[in-house]
Amino acid sequence: MSITSFIPPQRTLMGPGPSDIYPQVLQALSRPTIGHLDPLFIKMMDELKQLLQYAFQTKNTFTIAVSAPGSAGMEACFVNLVEAGDKVLVCRNGVFGDRMRENVERCGGIAIMVDNAWGEPVSPALVEQALQTDPDIKIVAFVHAETSTGALSDAKTLAEIARKYDCLTIVDAVTSLGGVPLLVDEWQLDAVYSGSQKCLSCVPGLSPLTFSEQAIAKIQQRKTPVQSWFLDQSLVLGYWSGEGKRSYHHTAPVNSLYALHEALVLLHNEGLEQAWQRHHRAHLELKTGLEALGIQFVVEEAYRLPQLNAVYIPEGIDDAAVRSTLLERYNLEIGAGLGTLAGKAWRIGLMGYAARNENVALCLKALESTLK
């Protein structure tokens, strides 16, 4: 056997995630591993919690990072908040809304679906209509930033409607956190999860998660134990208690948490509003360049995510051939279309570290010469 070390090429990642990692974050990752119950590590975890509260704009005591990717954050919300027989309104306007449905059903819950076309935001009117029709619904679940289409939904209004009908909200903020405004406390969102590998430009494999007091109260009133041991958040609470003492739950991904701490320090130093504006500026620049190449957006301007630009593949262009030329000639990754947009659209990410002039210029130059 002559297997040697794996040395990946230096790509520029401008797909739907993972995004390029900040150099400072990669450095943080390679710092010496210390024990996850070491007093210094515990201090770092306390800071990490404060930084996550800043990123989510929340004072929620229960604000942590699940030691697993965004899908685990999603599952943590559903397995903790949904019990057998519970009715959950699930909004579906792309791939990830459908995953929410699967989560509800695997918890033994009943998913009541509100469907919007791919590329459109979730319709508040349809949500209200569904809640009026069925007073037994207790949770409304939706994706804030649908990565499969590039559409942004109005989380504030959806949460207002949910509250009017006495429902909690489960919100997927995997692609929104750090890229567009997400105000957990002001909008009174209840269970919100994200991912480390999108606009935070951190290593993949961690899922920031926050629960409101109301979400915690619902978990405390459960009639049955959470069926997943690892994701039962009442067990994790002791680990993230923030009181300077921590009990063992699982071996924390120590170095990945250094990386998340560093990514959040960078976000904090830049300032959330500045980060949102930077994503917006990069998007406008990309838009101008793409439109000059005759490329059209999938999503209407009012609902477009700056960090995930879904665009139609021009007529007569070979999708896979273009993406492999970009990769081979420019070391540039852009994303393929997903689901109903497979073969019809590309997804160009401007997430975190990638939301910069240099990236926009590279992408436009590479596309222009490849499409000639």
Q: Which residue ranges are tagged as binding site for substrate?
A: 347
* Binds ligand PLP (CB under 6 A): choice among 15, 121, 195, 208: 195
Q: Which stretch binds ligand PLP (CB under 6 A): 51-59, 66-74, 262-270, 322-330?
A: 66-74
* Binds ligand PLP (CB under 6 A): choice among 25, 151, 167, 174: 174
Q: Which stretch binds ligand PLP (CB under 6 A): 49-57, 65-73, 155-163, 248-256?
A: 65-73
For residue 57 the two structure tokens come to 């704009």
Task: Return the amino acid letter for 325.
Answer: T
Q: Which stretch binds ligand PLP (CB under 6 A): 68-76, 291-299, 324-332, 347-355?
A: 68-76
Nearer to ligand PLP, 198 or 246 (CB): 198
Task: Tell me the DSSP string of 93-146.
Answer: SSHHHHHHHHHHHHTT-EEEEEE--TTSPPPHHHHHHHHHH-TTEEEEEEESEE
Q: How far is CA 358 from CA 81, 285, 363, 364, 365, in A?
A: 43, 11, 9, 10, 11
For residue 160 the two structure tokens come to 């207002």
Taking the C-alpha atoms of residue 191 and residue 356, their distance in angstroms, rounded to an integer, is 31
Taking the C-alpha atoms of residue 308 and residue 179, their distance in angstroms, rounded to an integer, is 10
* Binds ligand PLP (CB under 6 A): choice among 147, 153, 169, 233: 147
* Binds ligand PLP (CB under 6 A): choice among 69, 181, 242, 253: 69
- Confirm or reject binding of residue 70 to ligand PLP (CB under 6 A): yes
- Confirm or reject binding of residue 172 to ligand PLP (CB under 6 A): yes
Closest approach, Cβ 172 to ligand PLP, in A, equals 5
- Confirm or reject binding of residue 67 to ligand PLP (CB under 6 A): no
- Confirm or reject binding of residue 97 to ligand PLP (CB under 6 A): no
Alpha carbons within 13 A on the beta-carbon side of 207: 23
Q: Which stretch binds ligand PLP (CB under 6 A): 69-77, 152-160, 249-257, 277-285?
A: 69-77
- Confirm or reject binding of residue 151 to ligand PLP (CB under 6 A): no
Q: Which stretch binds ligand PLP (CB under 6 A): 116-124, 127-135, 172-180, 294-302?
A: 172-180
- Confirm or reject binding of residue 71 to ligand PLP (CB under 6 A): yes
Nearer to ligand PLP, 12 or 19 (CB): 19
Nearer to ligand PLP, 202 or 364 (CB): 202
Closest approach, Cβ 254 to ligand PLP, in A, equals 19
Of all helices (H) and strands (E), which one includes residue 357? Answer: helix 357-371
Binding mask 125-144 for ligand PLP (x = CB under 6 A): ------------------x-
For residue 170 the two structure tokens come to 């489960």
Q: How far is CA 191 from CA 67, 114, 131, 215, in A?
A: 17, 19, 19, 7
Q: How far is CA 353 from CA 21, 270, 271, in A?
A: 7, 12, 14
- 146 — phi, psi (to 5°)? -80, 105
Q: Which residues are annotated as a binding site?
A: 347
Rg value, the chain, Cα: 21
Q: Which stretch binds ligand PLP (CB under 6 A): 160-168, 169-177, 218-226, 353-361?
A: 169-177
Closest approach, Cβ 206 to ligand PLP, in A, equals 9
Q: What is the DSSP letter of 353?
A: G
Nearer to ligand PLP, 202 or 236 (CB): 202
Within the chain, strands assigned E span 12-14, 62-66, 87-92, 110-115, 137-143, 145-146, 151-152, 168-172, 191-193, 207-211, 308-312, 332-336, 345-349
Q: What SS3 state is found at 200?
A: coil
Strands 151-152 and 12-14, bridge-based pairing: unpaired
Nearer to ligand PLP, 120 or 285 (CB): 120
- Confirm or reject binding of residue 53 to ligand PLP (CB under 6 A): no
Residue numbers at the binding site for ligand PLP (CB under 6 A) = 16-17, 69-71, 74, 96, 143, 147, 172, 174-175, 195
